[in-house]
Amino acid sequence: MEFNIDLFQGVATLIQNFQEEPDIALMRVGLIFLGFLLIYLARKGILEALIMVPMGLGMATINAAVLVWKEETAGIVAGSHGTLFLNPLVEKTDDLMAWLQIDWLQPIYTLTFSNGLIACLVLMGVGVLLDVGFVMARPFQSMFIALWAELGTVVIFPIAVAAGLTPAQAGATATIGGADGPMILFSSLILSKELFIPITVVAYLYLGLTYGGYPYLIRLLVPQRIRALQMPPEKVRNISSRDKVVFAVLACTALSLLFPVAAPLFLSLFLGVVIRESDLGHFAETFGGPVLYGATFFLGLLLGVLCEANTLLDPKVLILLLLGIGALTISGIGGLIGGYILYFGTGKKYNPVIGIAGVSCVPTTAKVAQKVVAEENPDIIVLPHALGASISGVITSAIFASIFISQLK
C-alpha cells in the first residue's frame, strides 16, 4: 500500500515505521505518550516543572514531527527520515555548517549543549541562589553526609563494567548517583560522547523522580519515631558575607588545583556564590534569573528533542535505565546510612532523615527531608542541616566526576 508522503508526513512516516521497523514505531508512540505524562506530572507538582514541561513537549513533538528528506542534505540520503530540530551525531565540519542553517535548535545545541557551556551557566545561576553559610555552619556533618550519599556512584561503577559498558561509559553512568544534572552532562560529554545523550536524558528523567520517590525510601528505612526526632537547639556562629566569599574563593582555587578537569564547573558554581555575597545586584539578578531560567529551559527542551526513537533504541539504553535508578537508590540509602551514623554518634540527637539531602539534587532533596519530618511533627525544622548536606553534595559530585574523568579519559 502506497502513502502520499508529501502530505501529513508525520503520519506517513509513522505508518511506514509500523510496516518496516515496528520497534521504531512503537518507540515513537511510547515517547510521545511519555512526553504527555511528564507534562501531566509536572503540572501536578510531582516532577520539577522547570525541566519537565519543555522536556515533555519536546519529546512528544520530536517523535511526531518525523519527515522524509526529498534530496541529499549534509550527508543524509534522500528518502530517509529526519527532523528539522537538530542532528546530535553530525561530525564533519562541512555537514555541521549545513545543519546550522537547517535545524533551528542546532546552533543552541552546538554552541552551548555539546560543549558543556549550558551546564556551566546553570551552575553559575545555582551558585547565585546558594547560601554556603549552611555548609560553613556544619562543615563536617554536611560533607560527611554528602560523601555517604555518593555510595551509588561508587557501587554502580563496577556493576556497569560487569554489565558490558567500557570503564569510561561506566564512569559517566555512575555519576548519575551524584544526582547533579550539570555534572552528569559534563562528565558524560567528556567520557562517553557516544552515550552522553541517553545518559543525560536518563539522568534528568530520574532526577525528576527523586522528589516523588525518596519519601517512600525514607519511610521504608527510617522508623516513624526516629523521623519525628526533634533535634536539640544548637549554637551557630554568625557567618558574614566576607567569610562566605573567602570560603568560595579558597574552595574554588583548592578544588581546581586538585581536580583541574572540573575547573569550569567549580569556577561557575563559586563565581555565582561570590556574586551573591558581593552585593553585585545586577549580576545576581541576571545570573540567578534570566541566565539560570533560560539555560534550564533550553536544557529541558534540548533533552526532550534529543529523545528520538532511533537514538534511544540502542540496547545499552535499557542498561542505563536500570543502572541509573540503581545509582540514585543506592545513593539515597548511602545518605541515610550517613545520617544513622551521625544519629548514633551524637547519642541519638541527629535526625537521620537529613541524610537523604546529601544526594545533591539541590534544593529538591533538602525539601524532601523537611517535608517528611514535617509530616510527623510540623514543628521540626531540619532544612538548615539538609541544605548544608545538599550543597556539599554538589561539591562531592563534582569531585567524583573529576576523578572519573581524570582517570578514565
Helix or strand run (H / E) with residue 191: helix 181-191
Question: What integer pLDDT is reported at residue 3 of this predicted model?
Answer: 41
Any idea how long the chain is? Answer: 409
Indicate whether 28 and 166 sit together in one domain: no
Question: What integer pLDDT is reported at residue 318 of this predicted model?
Answer: 82
Helix or strand run (H / E) with residue 67: strand 67-68
Cell numbers placing 383: 532544612
Within a domain: 217: yes
Question: Are 172 and 202 a contacting pair, CB within 8 Å?
Answer: no
Dist. CA 72–CA 90, nearest whole Å: 15
Indicate whether 147 and 16 sit together in one domain: no
Indicate whether 74 and 129 sit together in one domain: no
Indicate whether 122 and 255 sit together in one domain: yes
Fill in the DSSP letter of residue 101: T
Question: What integer pLDDT is reported at residue 75 of this predicted model?
Answer: 66
Q: Show which of 83, 98, 127 is a domain's final residue.
A: 83
Indicate whether 52 and 178 sit together in one domain: no
Indicate whether 286 and 375 sit together in one domain: yes
Dist. CA 240–CA 198, nearest whole Å: 43
Fill in the DSSP letter of residue 149: T
Tell me which residue range forms the domain holding 393.
117-408
Which of 360, 349, 348 is CA-nearest to residue 399?
360
Indicate whether 182 and 257 sit together in one domain: yes
Dist. CA 106–CA 24, nearest whole Å: 23
Neighbours of 312 (CB within 10 A): 22
Q: Is the dihedral of CA 250, 255, 257, 258 positive or negative?
A: positive
562531592: which residue's cell?
396
Indicate whether 358 and 221 sit together in one domain: yes
Dist. CA 183–CA 365, nearest whole Å: 17
CA distances from 344 to 339, 350, 385 (A): 9, 8, 17
If one counts the domains in the chain, the total is 2
The residues that bridge with 81 in the sheet, in sequence order, are 68
542541616: which residue's cell?
385
561539591: which residue's cell?
395
Angle CA(318)–CA(191)–CA(306) in degrees, nearest 5?
50
pLDDT digits (tens, 9 = 90+) for 103-150: 999 999 999 988 889 989 999 999 999 899 999 999 999 999 999 999
Dist. CA 387–CA 364, nearest whole Å: 9
Within a domain: 167: yes
Within a domain: 97: no
Residue 409: exposure state from Cβ atoms within 10 A (0-12, 13-18, ≥19): exposed
Q: Show which of 63, 83, 103 is a domain's final residue.
A: 83
Which of 322, 360, 354, 399 is CA-nearest to residue 178?
360
Within a domain: 91: no
Within a domain: 40: yes
Question: What integer pLDDT is reported at residue 152 of this predicted model?
Answer: 95
Q: Where are the beta strands (DSSP E) in 282-350?
A: none
Rg over CA atoms, the chain: 22
pLDDT digits (tens, 9 = 90+) for 146-173: 999 999 999 999 999 999 999 999 999 9
Indicate whether 355 and 298 sit together in one domain: yes
The residues that bridge with 73 in the sheet, in sequence order, are 76
Question: What integer pLDDT is reported at residue 397 of this predicted model?
Answer: 92
Dist. CA 291–CA 258, nearest whole Å: 29
Angle CA(238)–CA(255)–CA(205) in degrees, nearest 5?
90
The residues that bridge with 76 in the sheet, in sequence order, are 73
Q: What angle, rounded to 10 degrees, do the helices at 151-162 and 167-174 form?
A: 150
List the chain pLDDT tens, one digit each, 409 residues. Answer: 344 456 788 998 999 899 999 999 999 999 999 999 999 988 887 777 888 899 999 999 999 999 888 777 766 777 788 888 988 878 788 888 888 888 999 999 999 988 889 989 999 999 999 899 999 999 999 999 999 999 999 999 999 999 999 999 999 999 999 888 888 988 988 898 888 888 888 888 777 777 778 999 999 999 999 999 998 887 777 899 999 999 999 999 999 999 998 899 899 999 999 999 998 889 999 999 999 999 999 999 998 998 888 877 777 788 888 999 999 999 999 999 999 999 999 999 999 999 999 998 888 899 999 999 999 888 889 999 999 999 999 999 989 999 999 898 7
Indicate whether 303 and 368 sit together in one domain: yes
Within a domain: 55: yes
Within a domain: 227: yes
Question: Are 397 and 180 a contacting pair, CB within 8 Å?
Answer: yes
Question: What integer pLDDT is reported at residue 291 of this predicted model?
Answer: 94
Question: Are 125 and 288 a contacting pair, CB within 8 Å?
Answer: yes
Indicate whether 232 and 310 sit together in one domain: yes
Indicate whether 74 and 189 sit together in one domain: no
- Report the Cα–Cα distance between both ends of the chain, in Å, rounded: 51
Within a domain: 74: yes
CA distances from 149 to 120, 243, 304, 332 (A): 23, 27, 28, 6
